[in-house]
Structure 1
Amino acid sequence: MSPALNSPKEIHRWCRNFPGTKAQIREARRFVTSYLGDLPEADTAELVVSELATNAIRHTRSGRAGGRFGVTLHAGTTLLILAVDDEGGPSIPYVCQAEDTDQSGRGLHLVDSLTTRWGVHGDEGGRTVWGLIPLASAGQTV
């Protein structure tokens, strides 16, 4: 088990805010992997946070001058909840259809395939996009 997740009976929560710039997507990935350490799910969580942070700065006010986005991790014994908060915008995140020519929503296909469930709550004043990633049991080998 990761050093950060040293007690299997506890629920851990970590939050951090980032300036809404492209360079901070890498920092958001580092934030996630630094807490998940050597857990097998760390790579999956890194990909999910990368997509959600990218969407936050591309499609919301988080990407404007002075904008910010936040990353929250809730880790229990069997489930990781990964959430990205943004400053909102006029469109709602969605998975686009394959025939759509618009690039919006294509990365959410990745989020949809890597998580057991994902969703959005909030409005144009600010949203949270979240995903659920199952964690392997402490005694289970992967």
Structure 2
Amino acid sequence: MSPALNSPKEIHRWCRNFPGTRAQISEARQFVTSYLGDHLETDTAQLIVSELATNAIRHTRSGLPGGRFGVTLHAGSTLLILAVHDEGGSSTPHLCRAEDEDQSGRGLCLVETLSARWGVHGDNAGRTVWALISLTPADQAA
């Protein structure tokens, strides 16, 4: 178990900003791993942050030269809130229907499947896309 999550009664918060480049998506995944350590849900959280960071870079001003995105993690003993903050853009994140021919937006279907809940706050000046991930309690992980 990561030192960040060593006490089941505490809530921990980690934040980090990243340059808005594709290379930083792997850095965001590593940030999640550093936070969760060998927790059972680390792979799920890595996949979700990868999808959300990719969307921030592809669909918002975060992906423009000099752009940035941020990742915030809040965790208690049984719940992780993973949020990606972007610099806004003209489109709003949304789920695509299966019959949509456009391949964009399919990552959010994955986020919806892997998380207990997800949502979006903000507007074209900047937004946060978040996902709630249920965590296996430390005493049940063994």
Alpha-carbon shift at residue 2 of structure 1 (Å): 2.1
Gaps of 5+ in 1: none
The percentage of counterpart residues that share the same residue type is 77
**Could you say which residue in structure 2 is the equivalent of 1:70?**
70
Alignment of 1:50-65 (within 5 A): 50-65=50-65
Alpha-carbon shift at residue 7 of structure 1 (Å): 1.3
TM-superposition CA deviations, 1:66-89 (whole Å, max 9, x none)? 000000000011100000000000
Distance 1:140 1:7 in 2: 14
**Could you say which residue in structure 1 is the equivalent of 2:110?**
110
* Conservation of the 8 A alpha-carbon contact between 2:86 and 2:128: yes
For the pair 1:99 / 2:99, whether they are aligned, the reply is yes
For the pair 1:13 / 2:13, whether they are aligned, the reply is yes
Secondary structure in 1 aligned to 2:140?
Answer: coil
Distance 1:103 1:59 in 2: 13
- Quick one: which amino acid aligns to residue 10 of structure 1? E
* Conservation of the 8 A alpha-carbon contact between 2:62 and 2:87: yes
Q: Aligned-residue CA RMSD in angstroms? A: 0.9
Secondary structure in 2 aligned to 1:140?
Answer: helix
TM-superposition CA deviations, 1:85-114 (whole Å, max 9, x none)? 000001110110011112221111110000
TM-superposition CA deviations, 1:18-56 (whole Å, max 9, x none)? 000000000000000011000001110000000000000
Q: TM-score, normalised by structure 2?
A: 0.97
Gaps of 5+ in 2: none
- Quick one: which amino acid aligns to residue 65 of structure 1? P
Report how many residues are paired. 142
**Could you say which residue in structure 1 is the equivalent of 2:31?**
31
